[in-house]
Amino acid sequence: MALYYVPAIAPIAYPLFFSLCDGRLPETFVEWRVIEDLSRREWVAEGHHVVAVCVEPEDLRDYCRSMNCPADGVALHALAMRVGTDFYARAEAYERDRARTVIVEDARARPVADDINDRPVLVTEPAPRRHWWQFGRRPVVIEETAGGPVLVDTAPPRRHW
């Protein structure tokens, strides 16, 4: 098991990273996020731990100047590794944060339970969907009797002023 630190970039800051890297990153944040998610899934599937580290454009600029390297995805990941190892220098800091992490099984790969009856179902029946024209009306109560359904309560007529 290895520990990987990956850069976490806010969507609003991605154009700054893209211009700083002179186009050596994917053109849109969505494309970059898809590539990052695929690599994270591969690492997690192999049993490694992946920790996202916040990286700012100024940090990348300063890092590339100090290391005399071009700003690109490789430098971005190297900066995330450096920031992560500085932040989690001691193992207990990582273990403390790891204890607060909730591990969720990936339900997209296979069903969580072999049989749905093995576990209680939290939501038995979803609420009936209301159409847009039904939001202004009070619900009508209908009782089932031996003679058929009987209207118990109706909404008063709407008054248009």
Query: Could you report the per-residue pLDDT of 7-43, keeping only the tens digit for each?
Result: 999 899 999 999 999 989 999 999 999 999 888 888 8
The residues facing 30 across adjacent strands are none
pLDDT at 85: 85
Residues 6+ apart with CB under 8 A from 155: 137, 138, 140
pLDDT at 84: 86
Point out the residues of the chain with pLDDT beneath 50.
Answer: 105-112, 114, 121, 123
Residue numbers of the domain that contains 52: 3-99
CB of 8 within 8 A of CB of 60?
Answer: no
**Residue 113 placed within a domain:** no
**Residue 51 placed within a domain:** yes
Number of domains in the chain: 1
- In one-letter notation, the amino acid at residue 36 is E
pLDDT at 117: 56
pLDDT at 112: 47
Cα separation of the two ends of the chain: 71
**Residue 8 placed within a domain:** yes
pLDDT at 86: 83
**Residue 124 placed within a domain:** no
pLDDT at 108: 47
Cα–Cα distance for residue pair 7/3, rounded to 1 Å: 13
pLDDT at 16: 92
